[in-house]
Chain A
Amino acid sequence: MPIASLSFPLPIRRRPSVAPRNFIRRDRAIELFESLRFDESVCETLAYLLPELRIPDLRTQAFSFVQGSARVHLSIAGERLVVRAVLAALPSATSATAALRYFLSRLSSTGQVFQPRLNERTIALEFADDLRLLHPHKLIEILQRLPMEADSNDGWMVGQFGVETPDREPLTALDDDDSRRAIEIWQLHWASVDELMVECRRRRSLRFLDALATYAVDQTRYLLPLNGAVRAKLNEAADVFADKDGYPNRRETTLVKCIREMRAIEGAELALSLGHANYAINPLREGTPSLLTSILGGGSTMQTIGELRASGRALEAAIELIADYHYLLAHQTWSPEIEAALRAALDGVSNRPWRDVADGLWNHANLTAKIYGSHGETDRDEPAADHDGDSRYEQ
């Protein structure tokens, strides 16, 4: 019997509580840089990115912050700023070859200003440059990408390459209730995706594959504080199966293999990859009204979903809408009001038949775009302004 509904439990992963960006500080940092006040420009840029931390004088005091499992250290030595996050300590040379190849082929790259560097036996992501070559735009790019890259190459390397991971921030373990619930969510999620994969193959629809692939990876990202080896394995597979420009057959095969591997993960193994982390810099993008409009507010995609509903293809319409909602929640932060609205939409259709899901989310999407969308205004370089008063949602 084909799958009849999906459940949308509350997330265990903590939403990052990061203050909204103050773009005036960024502009001030640029002014300072252009006035050749480089030390102050660096501090102002840090204050812009890390509004909740006190920034010391980097010439006299080293400064560190935590981004997930990565500890990022900054200091000014002479006229150079150094940014560094340790990835791993290598074991004996012979067993380190695979790790070294990984660093060279996956972390070193053209098009990025920081690089992995080997000092003695310690490999770290590093950036160092003259203060005169630290325009705030460049520093912002480094401080956003280097910690994120360091965080994503965390404890999974221990099992993979036999390296040690000194100078990493430990994760906070889930309590027993959350651990149990996380395992239930995981097992139910991949069992559901497995059943939906059967439907996907039966329909031979690329749109269905796109939506299912997005949902498969984004629901886990939204719900679970996933780290370590399981996250690395899932992300590696998702790079293939969620790539809408990739070959459909390869994507489908990769998704099927991924489902099999994810379902085979035992609770104890999953628990090793779960843990809450702290983020000094918001690891998610700040959602904008124009994004809401482009995803939920019409256009050819929503028109096609509407046609699917009208022609009785409720499952396909529902899966596309579910994928959109999970994408918005997994990758973006929103004002409390918008986040509550998006969440309420999922709560309203959890465990409901496909027809109800398609109708409920379709109506909700149109209303959301109408209330919170951009209404043709050009995108502003700042977060969405909160609306006054209580939620104007009608459920």
Chain B
Amino acid sequence: MSNENPPLSFDDIEALGIFQVYTGSGTGSGFLIDERHLVTNCHVVAPFRRVALELRDRTRIVGTVRRVHPLRDLALVELAHAVPGAVLALAQSDGLRSKQPVHILGFPVGLPLSVTEGVISHPRQLLDDQYFVQTDAAINPGNSGGPMLDDQKRIIAVTTCKLTAADAVGFGIPASDVQSFIEAFRGQSAAFGLQCPACEELIESAVRYCPSCGLDLETHPDVADWFGTPEPHPLVAFVESALDSAAVDPVLARHGHQNWSFHSGSAPIKIWCCCSEHLNFSSPMVQTGTRKLAPLFEYLLAAEHAPFCFDLSGNTVRMNLVVHTSDVFANLAHPTLIERVRAFIAKADETDNLLIREFACQPAPETKRDALEHGVHAQEKDAHGEHTLP
């Protein structure tokens, strides 16, 4: 019989303090180092100083980036409030060996928290003058910033990248480097600090040259955007001013490049640019029932809803608004457009209740059921029960 402890179960990964990070350039993963702080990759949050973290109940909270290390690709985010989730311990990097099992946790391609498995291909692989833990476990966009765990659920590395020209060659930042980064942050008093890519000196405010090593920081691609406020794209500026007017925090709504997602009460709202001409606002709010369909369809097509409209995607009813990008760039009637977006967001939250109450629709998979109008949720349950009776 072996004296080694049996591997811990990965059955309850939902309890682990691993969360999805949302910014205006994409999504990634991150893990708690205590109830108020999270570590992720620098490239996941760059160049945003405020990011969003989605909790298990799909609510999002704001995180403030406190420290970044562009060269080592690490970032530390302070959360708006404490969040629940098991904090995982860091393993000793010098104990790693080839063929040791690795479990990668994260949110690949935006999917819910999931785990992939493999082995350590090399515990200390040199690449671009830095050492990485190399693994053959599957790494996909969205995994960045998540932890690589050993069988004991200890963090052995932070997932950072893979070779796209090769199969099953992924890399993680060794736990020892993560440990150093966290310890340095614990001693940091400044609200924000960036470690110089050349000498690791902490830079706390905009300076042209690193005071320690003289590196030109203003033109360095990994540093330049952190101390300035990048000019947002006009479409982004428009959408986010419209969200502001609807009392939606744009930071919490960002979901990648020119993409936003959030809930207006119970109704999911998605905003995206599908081409150079259209900004789409859509709320996949309910699914059709099996009765009262003609009156429902007539209601959805009624001219009174203009400028909004409804469509059917399968059985999912979506309420839509399209803003032509030429209207945004012409900038002759932004207040009208912003009011239109605000009204769309407000109407989505009312309309899902109405469609459930009046037309026996069911909430859509992305509906926040606990935010449905009082009484509607019970009615929806009744309707569901009625349909399942023999």
Point out residues on A near B: beta carbons under 8 Å.
Answer: 33-34, 36, 93-94, 96-97, 100-101, 103-105, 108-113, 115-119, 123, 126, 128-130, 132-133, 135, 137-138, 141
- Flag whether B309 is at the interface (Cβ < 8 A): yes
> Cβ of B306 and Cβ of A137 under 8 Å apart?
no
Question: With A113-B278, A132-B333 in contact, is A104–B297 under 8 Å at CB?
Answer: yes
Interface bits B282-312 vs A (CB < 8 Å: 1, else 0): 1000000000011101101111001101111
Give 5 nearest A-B pairs by CB, closest first: A108-B311, A100-B297, A135-B326, A115-B309, A118-B301
- Flag whether B138 is at the interface (Cβ < 8 A): no
What residue in chain A is nearest B302 (Cβ atoms)?
A118
Inter-chain CA distance A36–B332, complex, in Å, is 9
> Cβ of B330 and Cβ of A34 under 8 Å apart?
yes
Min distance, Cβ B326 to any Cβ of chain A, angstroms: 4
Give chain A residues whose Cβ lies under 8 Å from the Cβ of B295: 93
> Cβ of A93 and Cβ of B333 under 8 Å apart?
no
Min distance, Cβ B276 to any Cβ of chain A, angstroms: 10
- Flag whether B322 is at the interface (Cβ < 8 A): yes
Give chain A residues whose Cβ lies under 8 Å from the Cβ of B337: 133
Give chain A residues whose Cβ lies under 8 Å from the Cβ of B216: none
> Cβ of A104 and Cβ of B300 under 8 Å apart?
yes
> Cβ of A138 and Cβ of B301 under 8 Å apart?
no
Give chain B residues whose Cβ lies under 8 Å from the Cβ of A105: 311-313
Inter-chain CA distance A135–B327, complex, in Å, is 7
Inter-chain CA distance A135–B312, complex, in Å, is 29
Interface bits B1-28 vs A (CB < 8 Å: 1, else 0): 0000000000000000000000000000
Inter-chain CA distance A113–B327, complex, in Å, is 12
In the complex, besides A111-B322, A133-B327, 14 extra interface pairs with C-beta distance below 8 angstroms are: A94-B294, A101-B297, A104-B310, A105-B313, A109-B311, A110-B278, A110-B322, A111-B278, A115-B309, A117-B309, A128-B307, A135-B330, A138-B327, A141-B277
> Cβ of B330 and Cβ of A97 under 8 Å apart?
no
Which of B274, B300, B324, B327 lies in contact with A110, CB distance below 8 A? B274
What residue in chain B is nearest A118 (Cβ atoms)?
B301
> Cβ of B306 and Cβ of A117 under 8 Å apart?
yes
Inter-chain CA distance A138–B327, complex, in Å, is 8
> Cβ of B303 and Cβ of A119 under 8 Å apart?
yes
Give chain A residues whose Cβ lies under 8 Å from the Cβ of B320: 108-110
Min distance, Cβ B286 to any Cβ of chain A, angstroms: 13
Give chain A residues whose Cβ lies under 8 Å from the Cβ of B300: 104
Give chain B residues whose Cβ lies under 8 Å from the Cβ of A97: 293-294, 297
What are 13 pairs between A and B in contact, CB < 8 Å? A101-B312, A104-B310, A108-B301, A110-B318, A111-B274, A111-B278, A117-B301, A117-B303, A118-B301, A118-B302, A126-B303, A133-B336, A138-B324
- Flag whether B280 is at the interface (Cβ < 8 A): yes
- Flag whether B163 is at the interface (Cβ < 8 A): no
Min distance, Cβ B333 to any Cβ of chain A, angstroms: 4
What residue in chain A is nearest B272 (Cβ atoms)?
A110
Inter-chain CA distance A137–B278, complex, in Å, is 12
Which of B275, B277, B309 lies in contact with A108, CB distance below 8 A? B309
> Cβ of A111 and Cβ of B324 under 8 Å apart?
no
What residue in chain B is nearest A140 (Cβ atoms)?
B326
Min distance, Cβ A48 to any Cβ of chain B, angstroms: 15
Which of B294, B301, B309, B324 lies in contact with A133, CB distance below 8 A? B324
Give chain B residues whose Cβ lies under 8 Å from the Cβ of A137: 277, 324, 326
Chain B stretch 313-351: residues in CB contact (< 8 A) with chain A:
313, 318, 320, 322, 324, 326-327, 329-330, 332-333, 336-337
Question: With A132-B333, A133-B337, A137-B326 in contact, is A93–B294 under 8 Å at CB?
Answer: yes
Inter-chain CA distance A112–B323, complex, in Å, is 9
Min distance, Cβ B351 to any Cβ of chain A, angstroms: 15
